[in-house]
Structure 1
Amino acid sequence: MKPLIKSGLLGVVLFFNVLIVSAQTGPVSYSIKGIIVDSASAKALEYVTVSLKSSDNKPLKSALTDGKGVFNFSKIAAGKYTITVISVGHSSKSIPVNIAVGSDRPETNLGTIVLSAKHNQLKEVSVTAERPIIQQEVDRISYDLQADPESKVNNVLDMMRKVPLLSLDADDNIKLQGNSNYKILINGKPSSMVAKNPKDVLRSMPASSIQKIEVITTPPAKYDSEGIAGIINIITTKKVDNGYNGSLNVGGRFPVGGPRVGGNYTVKQGKFGASGYGGFGTYSQPQTSYFSNRVSTGTNPRSLSQNGLREFDNRFVYVGTEFSFEIDTLNLITAEIGFNNGNYDSKGSQMSQTFSQNSIVEGYTLNNNSENNWKGIDLALNYQLGFKGKKDRMLTFSYRYSNSDDKTFDQLGVSDRINYNTPDYHQHNKSGSGEQTIQADYVHPFKKLTLEAGVKAILRDNNSDFRYDSLNTEGLFATDPRRTNTFDNNQDVIGAYNSYQYNLKNWGFKAGVRIEETLIKANFISTDSDLKKDYFNIIPTISINRKFKDMSSLNFGFTQRIQRPSIWNLNPFVDRSNPNFESTGNPDLRPVLSNDIRLSYSKFKKGSFNIGLNYSFSNNTIQQISVYDNSRGVTFTSYDNIGKDKSLGSNFNINYPITKKWDFNISGNMNYVWIKGVINGFNVSNDGFRGYFYGGTGYKFEKGWRVNANFSYSSPYITLQGQGNSYYYTSLSVNKEVIKDKLTFSASTNNPFAKYREYINETTGADFTQSSNYRNYFRSYSLSLNYRFGKLEGSIKKNKRGIKNDDVSGGKSNQGE
């Protein structure tokens, strides 16, 4: 391994030498210059973005004006160009420029270019650049992946490390300000693709197929009220213009990971248009080790030690497409279809020993072969009616159907027995979720006021059928009825909302209210028992934006959010794949109401600066709890509404261009959390800091070369009964534009200084303490090619309103992956 590392480091050094040598360009004979001034004050405008585009509207160069408002493009070839001037708070301006072949004027002086101020309230404040990476709106922050060169080599999960307010824990689970209670949407709509385990999907999806990621911290009333921490909205690339275009990304990661292929397309012909995305990928990990221990006290003190080996292979396929037909200028029909399929196979062996007073009282070796297969489908149909004389006034009717199935089969064999009599056994669990949504939305704009209203019905059917088969004396596997059950859960949500947005010159207001009735019915078919519950909630939301003259703004937001348990939390299937540690869901869980207050300040000039404060609190939160059963020697883990949470914290993001070629950005968040609960009659509490820091820098060389370096750190994650460990992440990537605006080659190395990552989790309860340590491959290398094709001219008309089911808590995570 040492010669391999040395060879790799030598290759990186030589590669960078090639970059530096190739960072040169030949002379070109013409230049374009000018001065940008404000129309009212006649003062020069500094840090205004000026772009040079070719005759077919392709961006060639960009520059920022200096302190005297001057910009200058040098080394320009003869031809036809367009100069585009963009400044926040001013109307943009485009100026055609024609440099004739053989012209005897080496310099084209455009003189003074006057920009007039906009008199309408801006709905968002953005970085002053042709392709701003960060955008701050009144209720959300968005990160433009297409403006980040690293999107050509990384997958979507890797890019989330750079998005403000988002982070990944030591097991690559996504956190929104350190919280796992959020909702993920694809193009503003729910998707079965990310319902179960989003990290598996997103790390198989190339970031080049994603336009931007929105973090909606104060969701307006039109969104369903689920997602305590907020909403993550992933918007796929859709250059919706006449003709066709698309991109294809081929890449791979090793030694952990595997090959992946992904892409997107857009087609438009007349009144018909279509756009979509899709791909497949693998994520495999060679054999690694893990160990865990537990010390129990009380009447029968014992200590447990487990050591094991495991490996897994994960494969995933996904595709989604949207069709649009414009009947006329006022009537529009769109339809969507999406499909996903995946499987996760793992193999492992584990040696377990239980000691009492330094003597072995029980021991065994467990071999586990596990198969997990899932699939999902999404269908949607939308009709949008416009009105004459009011282009933004519209009425939309929407229907959506979603279905997902999940099957798990575990084969467990026991050997090397010491006082252990449990026979070999199999576990089967078949679960699924079906969902139908009917929705109507109405938008009516007035002069400065926009009214939105709507009604919605979500009809869900969650089900689970699990079976435990034990090896009998005849050598056959027979079903154990005591550990077998069939479960059906119906969850219907009926809602209505009304919201208003009012804009003044320097102020923006967005407020609304949403009412929701939740009807829950659970049926334990095997035990012939029922559970019925109804909940009614009134959810207010308010966002205020104050814009200042120095291109800064102050935002305030307050909202209440609901966390409804998903099938992964409700499923009463008991996982006994590790006989000393059992886990299950709780069908008696109730929705949780959370209150969230936010205040943020943003400033955009040459760079961008964001800082925010937030405070949230909730009662009766769903907590994962672990209890030790002394009689069986088993830790039993489930969920219950026993928590009281409070969180006070801050977040920041700075994105700054040091020079025209060198930029850097840093971001992070720090929260102090207080968690309280009652477990088996005992008061339990925990508190501490949860935080995340990210730093990245990139340098753009000549001839299409770019180098990026990144670093992130995550603090320990606080839970009610313990905490996880801290960890850091580093990466280095290189991009080369082989064919301008067409073909890009990228290479990267992640965590070159650490082969493995330790995922440590510590838990303490009445009469026991336990910890687990999973070792995962950390160092990896990636290569990818990204190809863009096609040409577009006009735009596809799309529904401006549609179904957004964001009312269910986040998906399940696979521990220790």
Structure 2
Amino acid sequence: MKRLILHLLVLSVLCLLPKQSCHAQDAKGNVVVTGTVMDKTDNEAVPYATVSVSFIEDGKEQLYGQVCDGRGLFRISIPYKETYYIDVSYVGKKFEKRTIHPEKGEKVINLTDIFLQDDESTNLDELKVVHKRALIKMDIDRMSYAMNEDAEAKKKNLFEMLKKVPLVTVDGKGNIQVKGSGSYKILLNGKPSPIADQDPKMILKSIPASTVKKVEVITEPGVKYDSEGVDAVINIVTDQTTGDGIMGNVSLDFGLPLSLSSSLYLAMKKGKFGMNLVFSGNAGSQGTSYTVSDYKNFVADTRLHQDYESKNKYLGGFGNILLSYEIDTLNLITLSSSFSPYYFKNNSNSKIDDYKQDILLSSKLNKNKSANVMGSVNTSLDYQHSTKREGELLTASYRLNYTPNNSDDKQIRIGELPDGKDYKTWGKSDAYMQEHTMQLDYVLPLQDKHQIESGLKYIYRLSHSDPVYKEFDYGINDWKPIDNGTNPLNNTLFKQYYQIFTVYSAYTYKLKSFSAKAGLRAEWGRSKVEYEKVDSANFRKNHFDWIPEVRLSFRPGMSQQLTLSYGFRVRRPSIGQLNPYVTVLSPYLTTEGNPDLNPTKVHSITLNYSLFTSKVQLYLTPSFTFSNNAIESYYKVDDQNSNMQHYKYDNIGKTRSYAINAYLSWSPWSWLRYFLGGNVNYSVYNSSLVEDKVKSVNAYLYSGLYFNLPKDWSFEINGGFYSPGKGLQTEGKVTYWDNYMVSKSFNDDLWSIDFSVQSPFTKYRKSRTTTTTSISEKIQEQRYLARTFSIGITFNFGHLDSVVKRTERSINNDDLSGGDGGGKPVK
């Protein structure tokens, strides 16, 4: 190794020597040539490139050279000549030699367009590079991890490599989080992918990391994304080199409690045609969970105690086919179709004890069996047109999505009828959501410093639900519709029509170490909800919002970035929150929505500091978030009956949140990586419900170690805790988790095996929530299985010189939020 380094140093010195004579960098002259060497692919400075300036004197070539500094800057002093020849060299890059002619008397020649391009023809088989480019790149609104620059990506799948991406964490169960939050969206080449809606672990395990160019983490989605969107976006950008072939892999996972998962990935390319196939299936049980709740009414001096036991089973699958046709180098068409059926079955038993002044009045046993058939069918067509101007892109997209959500629920209340017979009920619902989306996006770069992106989007949704609620009639020995008026919504057809019109535009300016971005998004939508038999529950709702975006970014060094941003998000109420119909849940409690709810408008100011070196990755984000019209759910005591409470919604909250989000990754050696991350949030709630302000602190902390061991072994350990803090009327309990995994690859990574265990020292986890009002208190504790085991096997086959091309931008609907009502999308 020492001899190799010595040879490289000697070679570098020889490259600076002229053919006939050599001049030092600081040789006296009356002309200075200066500039910055840039990478044309990402417009980033290239540190330590070699720049040479030559000219002809007395029939002989004279050459002056210099190695750039860490910011790609060079400054070479030379004698005045009428013609100079400029050349730049860097490993793996190429530069087209230039000729310049200075004007007479010109003292400084500032070269502003010194760009290097990737040299695919460079053969480095006999050269070991001791200094490689950084894997991490920061932009004004995102962080990128260069997967194709990581040697491990050639041997691992995308799921395993995702663990190395800063700000992204993966626990032993395959749960993915970004900055400690599960509110994220997975995109594939800027296009929404159904993998996020099903089992990301199995789908990502089926994709070889060698087919991925980079993974982008967009921590603060801007105006391009729907205002009701998620907190972060993971964009997986596949490699788009040229060449034909076929490749893929097969994986199988087995776990306890009983679970079985499998997947198949296949990629093929021939000329201008390409195809990707992904199939996966999973089945198993989530184990048994136990819930104990106590509801006390201090005025009535009553208490309801419930013990609840639940067992779940599931069966699901996912399939996706992508067809691509590259018309020419500037035009690309892709057609994608996917399906994802899912069956979920639940069996539960519960016991409810009713007390009055600590005297047991009654004890009831209930049995419940439910089944849900869910999933989605998704078809999209995209056309992408690029121009000879680098970065200019026009994308037109259409997507059709059909999401069924059918349920079947049977409940038995043992011995509840006057004659001692069981009271049986049966609820059934045929529901679906149908969605059509059309979108047009355009990106226009103006020179090297400016970029404009804009787009149009239209969404039409129809949600449909036809519920039937029946009871068993022993007289006719058959089921009949319940017609006692307790909840007529259970027996009426439900429809929701929703239209959204969107236009957005954003402008980005870049100047060396400074960047600025500003954008504006306008959204107009209208919703109509109809119940066929209950006119009093029908309502309409329109909305219009302006969503601004402002970001400023500064780079004090090559590995550091400081970003200040202002963001604005809208959180619109769900159907259940808007529905004015009053539902009686018990003799002591009702629930109702509020059709006059306004969207919650959330403002945020964020300061991001990032430091990324070969060994240390640091991400620190203090932020301030506030809202003056937050939607709050609360319990209100009835004015006429102090024993009765109503669960309602209203825009009564004023919130102020001060948070710090941090992430640190340290790799002291190539075989070890340690990471630590988390967030602390201090919130102040001010509401008309309470006399004093409610102050709360919630925190999330996670940490882990990754070991790359000899002979292709690896070991990882990670864990953390979450403290939920307080709400207006609620308070939660701290929960913990820990995971361990061992992996081994064989036959030059042809196949691999991994074993993981979650919470090996704790069989059950407990969560606790306390809800307190002026007349009542509810304490609910849940106990669920924490200890799980799994073993997985992956087999790789084939070879592909390129991956199937996809359009860089496409439809991304991320505005749907949780709520009640028929035809909800499946997450």
Give the shorter-chain TM-score range.
0.7 to 0.9
Equivalent in 488, 492, 497 of residue 490 of structure 1: 497
Deviation at 1:603, TM superposition (A): 1.1
Match of 2:764 in 1: 756
Match of 1:781 in 2: 789
Deviation at 1:678, TM superposition (A): 5.0
2:200 and 2:644 map into 1 onto residues whose CA distance is: 35
The two structures have a TM-score, normalised by structure 2, of 0.76
The two structures have a TM-score, normalised by structure 1, of 0.77
2:552 and 2:583 map into 1 onto residues whose CA distance is: 47
Match of 1:164 in 2: 167
Describe the superposition over 1:248-284 as per-residue Cα deviations: whole angstroms up to 9, x where unpaired.
22112212x5111124332211111122433111241
Contact 1:601 1:611 in 2 (8 A): yes
Contact 2:470 2:482 in 1 (8 A): yes
Q: Does 1:665 align with 2:672?
A: no
Contact 2:218 2:233 in 1 (8 A): yes
2:719 and 2:154 map into 1 onto residues whose CA distance is: 16
Match of 2:340 in 1: 340
Deviation at 1:236, TM superposition (A): 8.2
1:786 and 1:577 map into 2 onto residues whose CA distance is: 49
Q: Match of 2:671, as an amino acid?
A: K
Match of 2:608 in 1: 600
Q: Does 1:367 align with 2:358?
A: no
Contact 2:267 2:804 in 1 (8 A): no
For 1:456-495, list aligned pairs within 5 A: 456-472=457-473, 474=475, 475-481=477-483, 482=485, 483=487, 484=490, 485-495=492-502
Deviation at 1:453, TM superposition (A): 1.5
Deviation at 1:730, TM superposition (A): 1.2
- SS at 2:771 equivalent: strand
Q: Does 1:302 align with 2:305?
A: no
Contact 2:342 2:374 in 1 (8 A): yes
Q: Does 1:521 align with 2:523?
A: no
Describe the superposition over 1:223-258 as per-residue Cα deviations: whole angstroms up to 9, x where unpaired.
22222x623336387777532222222112212x51
Match of 2:440 in 1: 440
**Cα 1:379/1:148, change in 2 over 3 Å:** farther
Contact 2:624 2:656 in 1 (8 A): yes
**Cα 1:172/1:788, change in 2 over 3 Å:** closer
2:581 and 2:25 map into 1 onto residues whose CA distance is: 70
2:145 and 2:261 map into 1 onto residues whose CA distance is: 23
Contact 1:579 1:634 in 2 (8 A): yes
Deviation at 1:574, TM superposition (A): 9.5
Q: Match of 1:548, as an amino acid?
A: P
Q: Match of 2:331, as an amino acid?
A: N
Q: Match of 2:627, as an amino acid?
A: S
**Cα 1:159/1:330, change in 2 over 3 Å:** closer
Deviation at 1:670, TM superposition (A): 1.0
Match of 1:723 in 2: 731
Q: Does 1:675 align with 2:685?
A: yes
Is 795-804 or 546-555 further displaced after alignment?
795-804
Describe the superposition over 1:43-88 as per-residue Cα deviations: whole angstroms up to 9, x where unpaired.
xxxxx999xxxxxxxxxxxxxxxx9xxxxxxxxxxxxxx98699xx
2:335 and 2:160 map into 1 onto residues whose CA distance is: 28
Deviation at 1:632, TM superposition (A): 12
2:151 and 2:760 map into 1 onto residues whose CA distance is: 22
Deviation at 1:413, TM superposition (A): 0.5
Q: Match of 1:250, as an amino acid?
A: L
Match of 2:452 in 1: 451
Contact 1:151 1:159 in 2 (8 A): no
Is 779-788 or 418-427 further displaced after alignment?
418-427
For 1:609-688, list aligned pairs within 5 A: 609-626=618-635, 640-677=650-687, 686-688=694-696
Match of 1:64 in 2: none
Q: Match of 1:282, as an amino acid?
A: A
Structure 2 regions of 5+ residues with no counterpart?
Answer: 17-23, 27-45, 49-69, 71-89, 95-114
Describe the superposition over 1:639-681 as per-residue Cα deviations: whole angstroms up to 9, x where unpaired.
55443332210111111112121221111111112334456xx
Deviation at 1:527, TM superposition (A): 1.1
Describe the superposition over 1:460-488 as per-residue Cα deviations: whole angstroms up to 9, x where unpaired.
11233323212345243322243223221
Q: Does 1:555 align with 2:563?
A: yes
Q: Does 1:500 align with 2:507?
A: yes
Match of 2:199 in 1: 201
**Cα 1:271/1:31, change in 2 over 3 Å:** same
Q: Does 1:691 align with 2:694?
A: no
Deviation at 1:725, TM superposition (A): 1.9
1:541 and 1:391 map into 2 onto residues whose CA distance is: 25
**Cα 1:565/1:205, change in 2 over 3 Å:** farther
Match of 1:225 in 2: 227
Contact 1:236 1:277 in 2 (8 A): no
- SS at 1:798 equivalent: coil
Match of 1:57 in 2: none
Deviation at 1:399, TM superposition (A): 0.8
**Cα 1:571/1:700, change in 2 over 3 Å:** farther
2:673 and 2:480 map into 1 onto residues whose CA distance is: 64
Is 155-164 or 486-495 further displaced after alignment?
155-164
Describe the superposition over 1:398-440 as per-residue Cα deviations: whole angstroms up to 9, x where unpaired.
1111110111221110125599999321222333221111111
Match of 2:400 in 1: 401
- SS at 2:376 equivalent: strand
Deviation at 1:597, TM superposition (A): 1.4
Deviation at 1:351, TM superposition (A): 1.0
1:396 and 1:302 map into 2 onto residues whose CA distance is: 63
Deviation at 1:158, TM superposition (A): 13
Deviation at 1:37, TM superposition (A): 8.7
Is 773-782 or 684-693 further displaced after alignment?
684-693
Q: Match of 2:681, as an amino acid?
A: N
Q: Does 1:331 align with 2:331?
A: yes
Match of 2:54 in 1: none
**Cα 1:443/1:584, change in 2 over 3 Å:** same
Deviation at 1:586, TM superposition (A): 6.6
**Cα 1:362/1:218, change in 2 over 3 Å:** same
Equivalent in 785, 799, 817 of residue 791 of structure 1: 799
Match of 1:18 in 2: none
Match of 2:254 in 1: 252
Contact 1:490 1:520 in 2 (8 A): yes
Match of 1:9 in 2: none
2:326 and 2:158 map into 1 onto residues whose CA distance is: 34
Deviation at 1:627, TM superposition (A): 5.6
Deviation at 1:724, TM superposition (A): 2.5
Deviation at 1:221, TM superposition (A): 2.0
**Cα 1:365/1:208, change in 2 over 3 Å:** same
- SS at 1:719 equivalent: coil
Describe the superposition over 1:610-642 as per-residue Cα deviations: whole angstroms up to 9, x where unpaired.
111111112333444456789798876565544
Describe the superposition over 1:657-708 as per-residue Cα deviations: whole angstroms up to 9, x where unpaired.
12121221111111112334456xx669643112111111122222111111
**Cα 1:635/1:697, change in 2 over 3 Å:** farther
Q: Match of 1:522, as an amino acid?
A: V
Match of 1:381 in 2: 381
1:762 and 1:664 map into 2 onto residues whose CA distance is: 36
Deviation at 1:377, TM superposition (A): 1.0
- SS at 1:221 equivalent: coil
- Percent identity between the two aligned chains: 26
Contact 1:152 1:785 in 2 (8 A): no
Structure 1 regions of 5+ residues with no counterpart?
Answer: 1-27, 43-47, 51-66, 68-81, 100-107, 116-127
2:313 and 2:396 map into 1 onto residues whose CA distance is: 42
Alignment RMSD (CA, Å): 4.4
For 1:143-292, list aligned pairs within 5 A: 164=167, 188-190=190-192, 198=197, 201-202=199-200, 205=203, 207=205, 209=207, 215-227=217-229, 230-233=231-234, 235=236, 242-255=244-257, 258-292=259-293
Is 751-760 or 211-220 further displaced after alignment?
211-220
Contact 1:351 1:366 in 2 (8 A): yes
**Cα 1:759/1:636, change in 2 over 3 Å:** farther
